[in-house]
Amino acid sequence: MLIILKKGADEKEVARLLENIKQSGYTYARANEGGADMIELEGAPSYFQLDFFRSFAPVKKVVTSFEYREKVYRAGGKKDTSVTVKGRRIGGGNIELIAGPCSVESYEQTERIAEKLSKMGIRFFRGGAYKPRTSPYSFQGLNENGLKILSRIAKKYDMVIVTELLDVRNIDAVCEHADIIQIGTRNANNYALLKEVGKLKKPVLLKRGISSTIKEFLLSAEYIMCQGNSEVILCERGIRTFESEAYRTSLDITAVSVVKEVSHLPIIVDPSHSAGAWNLVERLSLASIAAGADGIMVEVHDRPQEALSDAGQSLKPEKLKPLIKKAAEVAECFGKTFMCSAAAGGRKENPSEKRRKIKSKKD
Amino acid sequence: MLIILKKGADEKEVARLLENIKQSGYTYARANEGGADMIELEGAPSYFQLDFFRSFAPVKKVVTSFEYREKVYRAGGKKDTSVTVKGRRIGGGNIELIAGPCSVESYEQTERIAEKLSKMGIRFFRGGAYKPRTSPYSFQGLNENGLKILSRIAKKYDMVIVTELLDVRNIDAVCEHADIIQIGTRNANNYALLKEVGKLKKPVLLKRGISSTIKEFLLSAEYIMCQGNSEVILCERGIRTFESEAYRTSLDITAVSVVKEVSHLPIIVDPSHSAGAWNLVERLSLASIAAGADGIMVEVHDRPQEALSDAGQSLKPEKLKPLIKKAAEVAECFGKTFMCSAAAGGRKENPSEKRRKIKSKKD
Amino acid sequence: MLIILKKGADEKEVARLLENIKQSGYTYARANEGGADMIELEGAPSYFQLDFFRSFAPVKKVVTSFEYREKVYRAGGKKDTSVTVKGRRIGGGNIELIAGPCSVESYEQTERIAEKLSKMGIRFFRGGAYKPRTSPYSFQGLNENGLKILSRIAKKYDMVIVTELLDVRNIDAVCEHADIIQIGTRNANNYALLKEVGKLKKPVLLKRGISSTIKEFLLSAEYIMCQGNSEVILCERGIRTFESEAYRTSLDITAVSVVKEVSHLPIIVDPSHSAGAWNLVERLSLASIAAGADGIMVEVHDRPQEALSDAGQSLKPEKLKPLIKKAAEVAECFGKTFMCSAAAGGRKENPSEKRRKIKSKKD
Amino acid sequence: MLIILKKGADEKEVARLLENIKQSGYTYARANEGGADMIELEGAPSYFQLDFFRSFAPVKKVVTSFEYREKVYRAGGKKDTSVTVKGRRIGGGNIELIAGPCSVESYEQTERIAEKLSKMGIRFFRGGAYKPRTSPYSFQGLNENGLKILSRIAKKYDMVIVTELLDVRNIDAVCEHADIIQIGTRNANNYALLKEVGKLKKPVLLKRGISSTIKEFLLSAEYIMCQGNSEVILCERGIRTFESEAYRTSLDITAVSVVKEVSHLPIIVDPSHSAGAWNLVERLSLASIAAGADGIMVEVHDRPQEALSDAGQSLKPEKLKPLIKKAAEVAECFGKTFMCSAAAGGRKENPSEKRRKIKSKKD
């Protein structure tokens, strides 16, 4: 960052600015070139600190590369965008719950779970047909048969299907049966795949890579958006840190708050994969809503002991009830609507929705 | 973990158990010794998974070292403990806000801030007299003069003083002036210091080391407790991960939930140091409360541009007001009381407090 | 790990064993079931510690899941394997240098570099035709034209071509022109791609994911091997840690030593991408050889200032000369041959090669 | 970093520079202020890249805060310094081996080991009298009795004693008995302790904090040096990363190379604590020497099964012999002397030593 000082700035005030730069953890060099008095601030101050430095009296202007020209950023103060599928909107005050089993194992298993979820007002159903597994000898999913099962479920219970795409060669099959295409954490940097889903007219749920920085995460979304598809839902799912014994990954709650600031895209949280333990799912879901998340995606299984994958982190459907109740309350603190609760209770939309619609007509 | 199987267990049920072990990400070996049929589960399943494995039909018992014998754990289902100072209690349904400047810079600066905070109902005042700084050339604090300033503030505004102890040789001075002794993240494994504060009759606020595992964090508390001092308040303050550009550290929200499960001690969160940017403090505070935290510690400065340290992450006192309002609402969702809000509003204690008192008389 | 004790084991010796378990950082539980006296050691002791625990007097046997049944491991003490391409062998005492530009930018650029490398005795040429870039707006490679350029180079200079495959749909094109298929770090968990290259009859150079554990790294190799292709060369390329300012990633030298112990596959090191700075390449190359690496892959550009990617980490060809000289010396300390040096000097193979050949005829 | 361009620089050359900045992974902003044409390069380019950017034709000068004013840096191209104790020098071409048990357990144990090491030509003996342990219930060392044992060993075998100081209150006792004061990884940011050892006239062996960045590591050394003590030996001992199952920490070999570039202080490596497994010690020692380390510190125990701490990572003395032999060979590749080998073989100093002495007389 380059700080251009006003001509004849008060040296005492400059000293205060320099002290603040140091206090903020940066080093600097002062330069005078062509008559311009400047401070070169070393290191990349975050987006949040630009205004802080601009606010000092001797500062004429701040020169920085942080222009956020990519589509994923809030260039020019762009407002929140949201993604609407089958009349249901994620983002913009609506908090959605996406639930379902890790894997589609059979029609019976899938239907049993879908029925229970449906009764709770849940409209977004997740389930894996193609499964990325660390070991090649683990269950790899039912593939196209799994997709067909999901399709039947969607029709029978009027649900929105979220399922993962692993391979560009399956793109037609997945598009035929799914409403939202999920890109998993292992493929967060599979740019060939990102480009392809960028050409679709379907919403994409993009998980953060397990060790992607915020910048990389957003640039993965940019790979999709720059191909023309702006229906991207981001998903924080825990990052890999030094702690791997007490929980599988560390839910990066700060990322949720930061992404809400710098990007206009909706962001949801997957507490199930993040923690790897069902006991932690409720707490992390509520924390995510408080941090600003636009949705929660949880793994649910009615018979975890029979699950072919992720048994330990799957909630039983009945455990969802207290989660939904609390989530609705926390959402309300922020003037937002936890949609499945509202649906179950007969409410259709959040309080700000009406105003929004009226306003958007004018835009 | 060693799973002892029942004699004559149904092999189909055993196969299901084995499948579940694999699905949970563990490997195993089966053994038969002295007639006992056993499954050796490799890797350390977390506390949360023991019951899951116990629940399978063929399981006779589970043998594990997870006995949680240390005082810091909930041995035998021990209930939440809380820490009471000057009649104010942290934990047990009371959520406290600790606020104040990073450093005590002068009596005037400290008093200005304390007065503002006091008017908001805040009773816990933080401020550093001894400052641990990465560079030896940075401001190192006012030392004993800083402590004396804190003492005057405490008296004038009837506040509880939280300040950091860096050096065993300053223990008497700090004890004379402080109500709660803070051990900073850099000294989280300074066992000589931990042992000394373990001998005190003062509460200790122990910050997690920036790369301490949960186990190490709790064992640092054990260093204090095993010397006789059980008045320990844990503090999550962000962990060091691969992401260091978008925010200083990653607030480990999962740690808050996990510590609440395995330990009976109160745990608070420091969102200011964690994020390193004041804009993120409110969101992270609210998320922490939703995750189960018993308190929040935030850095506040009325003139951040003049601050001698941590300017960029200090909230202005007026920014605390919306935080307090929201925090009180979120706390209420969990049946808890955000104390400074209650104090300002004339409420003295949380709804469950009265019951607790009556109950505790019987104990 | 389950330790079965001998009947009537001396309790003093058992106590010593228990003390050692604790000293090694593990917790344990003792169990007696069906008359068998056992110690359940919690946590997963590494491969290296099994023998240590077995060596105690009271130990009858150790039960563990560490069977290393996957093809990637040294099941049953399997000896080092090596990969031979166009008569050149990587592994088994031969240390190869793979060099070339990050990207194929034009025939002229590629040829200029290839000619220089060829004169130094270098036979393995790397160059990217398809480039995975963090930003979609960065140079993405010459694609099929790049492959054709590489083909011409290979013929003209009799070189072995190493180039990256990003997308299953390009597999035929890459196979037509390349001798070794590289799977990059971003696709280390792109299982669809791994399975496809597993069906080829071409050697695969598999880079470790930037945050893959050793186990995950080897299971990625297993995805290739289980499809029938056992010609896999592993490549350590630096891991993502908390340090990202002083160097791009941390070269995980321990991984090299560990992989040499547990797997029979050859492993090479990419110091250029790991460090992200050409000044560090020589030192890291030599350290890698000392740690047991079977090869080094470095980025070279004769005009770094014109490079379209990775300029800052590309060595000029003349900087390779001292690297090669030192590498040959260090290799010799271990009885190995640094092949390009030997080729330039007229030597054809390493001292142990002849013996090996004679021996392998007997096998 | 601020790049000031020459007046009338060729725009095509400027474009090439800008492309290179992007290729190097940086973003930039161009500014024109007071007639000066400038490029503000965002992010902190490493020390190694300054010359790269300076080398472009249109660049007039580069303004950066990287002045390396601290004593720990090579300000003004400062040459390597070394630390001499009892006539033995670490650094400057001499590679030392420091060996000994983790803990001093008894006079007999210590003497047995010291005798064996002494016969191998080893003159630097390590052993802990005060032990920092993660659990308060683990063996905490023999304290002052341990120091006395070390003193007797030093006299009997003419050895240099390296032992850890944990607590400022033990500083006199440790100074009385030790030749080199070790500051352990847990106290790397215990500034009170660092300042105190900075006032001594004794060499200090400073271990890197388990998650200290290079900058923080060097600033910890600065805490010592700014008090007047410039006899600091740095020690890389492995960093905490996401991989914790295959080995305890990841030896940061890149750090060794980087520290050798930016600092004049000698740096050694502790492969025993880094890997946590004795089988890896030899390989990592040799790699460290190849990377430029000035010494190696290894844990040795003749009866690991009886050791009260760190048994699994302790080498038996006889395992040191092949390590020493190989280390001497690798050192020779770099024109350096592995001192204990030279001592055992009758050589006193390395080839460049004589020249250095003659040269230093002239300085």
Model confidence pLDDT, tens digit, residues C229-258? 999 999 999 999 999 888 899 999 999 999
Please, what is the average pLDDT of chain B? 88
Residue with tokens 């990325």: A132
List, in order, residues 6 or more apart from A172 with CB less than 8 Å away: none
DSSP for C127-167 reads -BSS---SSTTS----THHHHHHHHHHHHHHT-EEEEE---
d(CA C324, CA D78): 28
Task: Tell me the Ramachandran region of residue D140: left when phi exceeds 0, alpha when psi lies from -120 to 50, beta otherwise.
Answer: alpha
Query: What pLDDT, on the 0 to 100 scale, is given for residue A321?
Result: 94
Residue with tokens 């070269």: C251
d(CA C67, CA C75): 7
C189 vs A contacts (CB less than 8 Å): 132, 134, 186-187
Query: What pLDDT, on the 0 to 100 scale, is given for residue B77?
Result: 73
- DSSP assignment letter at C285: H
In chain B, the percentage of residues whose pLDDT exceeds 90 is 63
Listed residue (B200, B201, B128) closest to B166, CA to CA: B128
Give the gap in angstroms from C-alpha D127 to the nearest C-alpha of chain C.
Answer: 16
List, in order, residues 6 or more apart from C157 with CB less than 8 Å away: C114, C115, C118, C125
Give C173: exposed, middle or buried? Use CB within 10 Å, 0-12, 13-18, 19+: middle
Cβ atoms of D83 and D233 within 8 Å: the answer is yes
Q: Across residues A74-79, what is the average pLDDT? A: 78
Query: What pLDDT, on the 0 to 100 scale, is given for residue A349?
Result: 47
D37 or C182, higher pLDDT:
C182
d(CA A291, CA C303): 49
D190 vs B contacts (CB less than 8 Å): 186-187, 190
pLDDT score of A353 more than 60: no
User: Angle CA(B242)–CA(B246)–CA(B249) in degrees, nearest 5?
Assistant: 55
Query: What pLDDT, on the 0 to 100 scale, is given for residue A358?
Result: 46
List, in order, residues 6 or more apart from C166 with CB less than 8 Å away: A191, A192, C130, C132, C184, C187, C193
Query: What pLDDT, on the 0 to 100 scale, is given for residue C269?
Result: 98
Interface probe for D, chosen from B169, B185, B190, B237 (most Cβ of D below 10 Å), is B190
Query: What pLDDT, on the 0 to 100 scale, is given for residue B354?
Result: 46
Nearest-by-Cβ selection for B65 from C40, C67, C211:
C40
pLDDT score of A69 more than 80: no
- Going B156 to B159 to B164 to B170, the CA torsion angle's sign is positive
d(CA D167, CA B272): 30
Q: Across residues B305-334, what is the average pLDDT? A: 87
pLDDT score of D358 more than 50: no
D280 vs C contacts (CB less than 8 Å): 48, 254, 257-258
Q: What is the pLDDT of residues C29-52, one digit of tens each?
A: 888 888 888 888 876 565 556 767
Query: What pLDDT, on the 0 to 100 scale, is given for residue A362?
Result: 44
Q: What is the pLDDT of residues D286-328, one digit of tens each?
A: 999 999 999 999 999 998 777 666 667 888 999 999 999 999 9
List, in order, residues 6 or more apart from A355 with CB less than 8 Å away: none
Listed residue (B166, B134, B135, B149) closest to B101, CA to CA: B149
Instruction: Answer whether A38 sits within 8 Å of D33, measured CB to CB.
Output: yes
Give D175: exposed, middle or buried? Use CB within 10 Å, 0-12, 13-18, 19+: middle
**How far from the centroid of its chain's Cα atoms is residue C69's Cα?**
20
- SS3 assignment, position D33: strand
Cβ atoms of A236 and A208 within 8 Å: the answer is yes
Find the helix or strand (DSSP H, E) in which D257 lies: helix D253-262
Q: Which of A264-273, C303-312, D32-41 has the lowest mean pLDDT?
A: C303-312
C361 or B45, higher pLDDT:
B45
C83 or A55, higher pLDDT:
C83
Query: What pLDDT, on the 0 to 100 scale, is given for residue D44?
Result: 60
Beta bridge partners, A326, equal: none
Which B residues, 297 through 316, put their C-beta within 8 Å of a C-beta on chain A? 304-312
Please, what is the average pLDDT of chain D? 88
Q: What is the pLDDT of residues D79-103, one digit of tens each?
A: 999 999 999 999 999 999 999 999 9
Cβ atoms of B295 and B268 within 8 Å: the answer is yes
pLDDT bucket at D340, cuts 50 / 70 / 90: confident
pLDDT score of B227 more than 80: yes
Alpha helices in chain A (DSSP H): 11-23, 50-54, 107-119, 144-157, 171-177, 191-198, 214-225, 253-262, 271-275, 281-291, 317-333, 339-344, 351-362
Cβ atoms of C15 and C30 within 8 Å: the answer is no
Interface probe for C, chosen from D1, D21, D23 (most Cβ of C below 10 Å), is D23
Q: Does D22 touch chain C (CB under 8 A)?
A: yes
- Going B7 to B11 to B17 to B19, the CA torsion angle's sign is positive
Q: Which of B263-277, C132-146, C218-232 has the lowest mean pLDDT?
A: C132-146
E strands, C293-363, are 295-299, 337-338
Listed residue (A94, A90, A1) closest to A44, CA to CA: A1
Query: What pLDDT, on the 0 to 100 scale, is given for residue C244?
Result: 84
A191 vs C contacts (CB less than 8 Å): 132-133, 136, 166, 186
pLDDT score of A287 more than 80: yes
pLDDT bucket at B310, cuts 50 / 70 / 90: low
d(CA B234, CA B295): 10
Instruction: Answer whether A283 sits within 8 Å of B304, measured CB to CB.
Output: no
C312 or C132, higher pLDDT:
C132
Q: Which of C150-154, D9-13, D341-345 has the lowest mean pLDDT?
A: D341-345
Q: What is the pLDDT of residues A31-42, one digit of tens each?
A: 888 888 888 887
Q: Does B253 touch chain A (CB under 8 A)?
A: yes
Q: Does B65 touch chain C (CB under 8 A)?
A: yes
Listed residue (D89, D334, D46) closest to C287, CA to CA: D334
Q: Which residues of B292-315 are buried (b: 16+ CB within 10 A; e: fewer)?
A: bbbbbbbbbbbebbebbbbbbbbb
In chain C, the percentage of residues whose pLDDT exceeds 70 is 88
Q: Does A267 touch chain B (CB under 8 A)?
A: no
Query: What pLDDT, on the 0 to 100 scale, is given for residue D308?
Result: 66
Phi, psi of B39 (to 5 degrees): -120, 125
D132 vs B contacts (CB less than 8 Å): 189, 191
Query: What pLDDT, on the 0 to 100 scale, is given for residue C351?
Result: 45
Q: Does C254 touch chain B (CB under 8 A)?
A: no
A236 or C246, higher pLDDT:
A236
Beta bridge partners, A73, equal: A263
pLDDT score of D349 more than 50: no
- SS3 assignment, position C185: helix
d(CA C97, CA C341): 9
- CB pairs B-D closer than 8 Å: 65
Give D79: exposed, middle or buried? Use CB within 10 Å, 0-12, 13-18, 19+: exposed
Instruction: Answer whether B290 sits within 8 Å of A330, measured CB to CB.
Output: yes
pLDDT bucket at D36, cuts 50 / 70 / 90: confident
pLDDT score of C352 more than 70: no
- SS3 assignment, position D19: helix
B168 vs D contacts (CB less than 8 Å): 167-169
Domains of chain B: 2-63 (3.30.70.1140), 75-362 (3.20.20.70)
Query: What pLDDT, on the 0 to 100 scale, is given for residue A19?
Result: 81
pLDDT score of B115 more than 80: yes
Instruction: Answer whether C43 sits within 8 Å of B43, measured CB to CB.
Output: yes
Tokens of A208: 């953060």
Nearest-by-Cβ selection for A190 from C134, C187, C211:
C187
Cβ atoms of D39 and D21 within 8 Å: the answer is yes
Give the gap in angstroms from C-alpha B155 to the nearest C-alpha of chain A.
Answer: 30
Instruction: Answer whether A66 sits within 8 Å of D42, measured CB to CB.
Output: yes
Which D residues, 272 through 291, put their C-beta within 8 Å of a C-beta on chain C? 274-280, 283-284, 286-291
What is the CB neighbour count within 10 angstroms for residue A254?
Answer: 31
Instruction: Answer whether D52 sits within 8 Å of C276, measured CB to CB.
Output: no
Phi, psi of D306 (to 5 degrees): -100, -5
d(CA A229, CA B75): 54
DSSP for A155-202 reads HHHT-EEEEE---GGGHHHHHHH-SEEEE-GGGTT-HHHHHHHHTSSS
Q: Does C226 touch chain A (CB under 8 A)?
A: yes
A168 vs C contacts (CB less than 8 Å): 167-169
pLDDT bucket at A337, cuts 50 / 70 / 90: very high
Query: What pLDDT, on the 0 to 100 scale, is given for residue C360?
Result: 45
Query: What pLDDT, on the 0 to 100 scale, is given for residue A66?
Result: 58
Query: What pLDDT, on the 0 to 100 scale, is given for residue A363?
Result: 43
Interface probe for A, chosen from B51, B254, B286, B330 (most Cβ of A below 10 Å), is B254
Which D residues, 92 through 151, put their C-beta within 8 Å of a C-beta on chain C? 138
pLDDT bucket at D362, cuts 50 / 70 / 90: very low
- SS3 assignment, position D191: helix
d(CA A97, CA A338): 8
How many residues in total does chain D contain?
363
**Pairing mode, strands C295-299 and C83-85:** unpaired
Report how far apart, in Å, the C-alpha atoms of C79 and of each of A45, C75, C227, C264 are.
Answer: 52, 9, 21, 6
d(CA D164, CA D181): 6
Nearest-by-Cβ selection for D189 from B132, B240, B245:
B132
Nearest-by-Cβ selection for D246 from C213, C279, C312:
C213
Please, what is the average pLDDT of chain C? 88
Query: What pLDDT, on the 0 to 100 scale, is given for residue A227?
Result: 94
Report how far apart, in Å, the C-alpha atoms of B232 and of each of B83, B109, B150, B180, C14 are.
Answer: 7, 29, 21, 9, 37
Instruction: Answer whether D213 sits within 8 Å of C243, measured CB to CB.
Output: yes
Count H helices, E strands: chain A? 13, 15
d(CA A46, CA A29): 19
pLDDT score of A264 more than 90: yes
Cβ atoms of B321 and B150 within 8 Å: the answer is no
pLDDT score of B65 more than 80: no
Instruction: Answer whether C169 sits within 8 Å of A168, measured CB to CB.
Output: yes
Q: Which residues of A187-225 are buried (b: 16+ CB within 10 A; e: fewer)?
A: bbbbbbbbbbbbebebbbbbbbbbbbbbbbbbbbbbbbb
Query: What pLDDT, on the 0 to 100 scale, is given for residue C358?
Result: 46
Q: Does A215 touch chain B (CB under 8 A)?
A: yes
pLDDT bucket at C332, cuts 50 / 70 / 90: very high
Instruction: Answer whether C191 sits within 8 Å of A240, measured CB to CB.
Output: no
pLDDT score of A275 more than 50: yes
Query: What pLDDT, on the 0 to 100 scale, is given for residue D137?
Result: 80
Amino acid at B340: C
Strand order in the sheet with D36-42: D27-33, D36-42, D2-5, D59-63
Task: Tell me the Ramachandran region of residue D100: left when phi exceeds 0, alpha when psi lies from -120 to 50, beta otherwise.
Answer: left
pLDDT score of D76 more than 80: no
pLDDT bucket at D345, cuts 50 / 70 / 90: low
Query: What pLDDT, on the 0 to 100 scale, is given for residue A291?
Result: 98
In chain D, the percentage of residues whose pLDDT exceeds 70 is 88
Instruction: Answer whether A65 sits within 8 Å of D29, measured CB to CB.
Output: yes
d(CA B149, CA B142): 10
Q: Which residue of A has its CA nearest to D44?
A: A43
pLDDT score of B351 more than 50: no
C66 vs B contacts (CB less than 8 Å): 27, 42
Q: Does D219 touch chain C (CB under 8 A)?
A: no
Q: Across residues B353-358, what is the average pLDDT? A: 48
Q: Does D243 touch chain C (CB under 8 A)?
A: yes
